[in-house]
Amino acid sequence: MRLHVALILAGFSLILAGSAALLLSAAASPAPAGTSYGGVILIGPLPIIYGAGPQGLRMAELAALLSLVLIAAAILLALAAAPPGEPEGGGHEERED
């Protein structure tokens, strides 16, 4: 396996492990009454949505909606910055031999 692929996989693994550790530590510690939390972790195409507390579901929904808006904005910006398409005919000129 090439080094850059191994480093990318190691980075994703560390992000996933760190997120899981934060989520588990927050869930395991006693929270004051009325405390709510929620969020979204996007790892590639896989969203991890979590929330707890009286308003946790609402916070998780808001975070999911915000992440969808940001993804749509990123796609639109990428499309706007893309160079114009190739000329008609695929960009290949016919040659006379």
* Total-model pTM: 0.50
Tens of pLDDT, residues 35-44: 787 888 887 7
Tens of pLDDT, residues 25-62: 877 877 677 778 788 888 777 788 888 888 888 888 88
- Identify the DSSP state of 92: P
The answer to whether the beta carbons of residues 41 and 47 sit under 8 Å apart is yes
Here the tokens at position 11 are 């980075």
- Identify the DSSP state of 10: H
Residues 85-91: contacts with CB under 8 Å, at least 24 apart: none
The answer to whether the beta carbons of residues 27 and 50 sit under 8 Å apart is no
Here the tokens at position 96 are 């006379």
- Identify the DSSP state of 47: E
